[in-house]
Chains A and B, each alone.
Chain A
Amino acid sequence: MSRSTWPLWEVFVRSQHGLAHKHVGSLHAPDAEMAINNARDVYTRRNEGVSIWVVKAADIVASSPSDKEPLFDPASSKVYRHPTFFPMPDEIKHM
Chain B
Amino acid sequence: MDHTLFQYLLRMGDTTLVLSQRLCEWTGHGPVLEEEMAVANTALDLLGQARMWLTLAGEVEGRGRDEDALAYLRDAPEYRNYLLVERANGNYGDTIARQFVFDVWHYLLLERLQSSTDERVAAIAAKAIKEVAYHARRSSDVLVRLGDGTELSHRRMQAAIDDVWRHTGELFFDDEVTQALAGCGVAPLHESLRAAWQEHVCAILAEATLVMPPAEEADHPAHRGGVHGRHTEALGYLLAEMQHLQRAYPGATW
Whether A41 and B38, one on each chain, are in contact in the complex, defined by CB atoms closer than 8 angstroms, is: yes
Q: Is the CB of B145 within 8 A of A30?
A: yes
A45 CA / B137 CA spacing, docked (Å)? 17
A42 CB within 8 Å of chain B: yes
4-27 of chain A: CB within 8 A of chain B: 6, 27
Question: At the interface with chain B, which of A31-39, A71-79, A82-90?
Answer: A31-39
Bin chain B's interface residue count. Answer: 10 to 19
Contact across chains for A1 and B37 when beta carbons are under 8 A apart? no
Mark B126-169 against chain A: 1 for CB-CB distance below 8 A, else 0. 00000000100110010001000110010000000000000000
B199 interfacial contact with A, CB 8 Å: no
Is B34 a contact partner of A38 (Cβ separation < 8 A)? yes
Q: Are B141 and A33 in contact (CB under 8 A)?
A: yes
Closest chain B residue to A2 by CB distance? B150
Q: Are B38 and A3 in contact, CB atoms less than 8 angstroms apart?
A: no
Count, chain A residues at interface, CB 8 A: 15
Alpha-carbon distance between A6 and B145 when the two chains are bound, in angstroms: 14
Q: How many whole Å from B38's CB to the nearest CB in chain A?
A: 4
Q: Is the CB of A1 within 8 A of B145?
A: yes
The answer, among A1, A6, A27, for a CB contact under 8 Å with B149, is A1
Dominant secondary structure at the B interface: helix
Would A37 and B38 be within 8 Å (CB), given that A1-B150, A1-B153, A28-B32 are in contact?
A: yes
Q: Which residue on chain A has the smallest CB distance to residue B36? A: A41
Q: Which of B37, B141, B149 contacts A34 (CB 8 A)?
A: B141
For residue A29, CB closer than 8 A to chain B, the reply is yes
Minimum CB–CB distance from B143 to chain A (whole Å) comes to 13
- Inter-chain CA distance A3–B34, complex, in Å, is 11
Q: Is B41 an interface residue (CB 8 A)?
A: yes
Q: How far is the CB of B137 from chain A (nearest CB, A)?
A: 8
In the complex, which residues of chain A have a beta carbon less than 8 angstroms from the beta carbon of B38? 37-38, 41
How many angstroms between the C-alpha atoms of A34 and B141 in the bound complex? 8
* A42 and B34 contact, Cβ closer than 8 Å, known pairs A30-B145, A34-B141, A37-B138: yes
Q: How far is the CA of A8 from the CA of B145 in the complex (A)?
A: 18
Instruction: Kindly provide the distance from the CB of A30 to the nearest chain B CB, expressed in whole angstroms.
Output: 7
Q: Please give, as numbers and ranges, the residues of chain A lying within 8 Å of B33 by CB-CB distance.
A: 27-28, 42
**A34-B141, A37-B138, A37-B141 known; A45+B41 contact, CB < 8 A:** yes
What chain A residues lie within 8 Å of B145 (beta carbons)?
A: 1, 30, 34
- B→A interface (CB under 8 Å): 32-34, 37-38, 41, 134, 137-138, 141, 145, 149-150, 153
Q: Give me the interface of A with B, judged by CB distance under 8 Å.
A: 1, 3, 6, 27-30, 33-34, 37-38, 40-42, 45
